[in-house]
Amino acid sequence: MLLHYLHRPTETTKTLGTVVFANPNGISLADAEARIVAELIDAELFIPNRLGIASLCGNTDPEEDDDYHEFVSVKNPEEVPTDARTIEMFIADLKTFKKANPDEFW
């Protein structure tokens, strides 16, 4: 499953990114999107380096907060996975992060 996200440092500038997860259980796009959005900050934001995804603003330190990134969408990809996790594992990581940091970001 292809996850699109972006970093918008200014109103007129944005950088788009993607990550591809395997979807061995065949969860639907609608289900994946609903489950992801339920775990995001304000239903759209996340900090990618805290979740093992490349930051689009150049920060590679997982302990350092970088700017928030926006979730855009999920799609069925033709590309091979670029992340070792499945989409369900990524959603589980979102849930774990949210539970571990309830006051920090939510």
Residues 6+ apart with CB under 8 A from 56: 5, 6, 7, 15, 16, 17, 48, 69
pTM beyond 0.75, yes or no: yes
Q: What's the pLDDT score for residue 101? A: 80
Averaged over successive runs of 10 residues, the pLDDT of the chain (106 residues) comes to 91 90 97 96 88 81 68 95 98 92 66
Burial degree of 1 (CB within 10 A; 0-12, 13-18, 19+): buried
Q: What's the pLDDT score for residue 59? A: 58
Half-sphere exposure of 87 (CA within 13 A, CB side): 26
Q: How far apart are CA 70 and CA 76, in angstroms?
A: 19
Report domain extents, the chain.
2-100
Q: What's the pLDDT score for residue 76? A: 95
H-run or E-run covering 17: strand 13-20
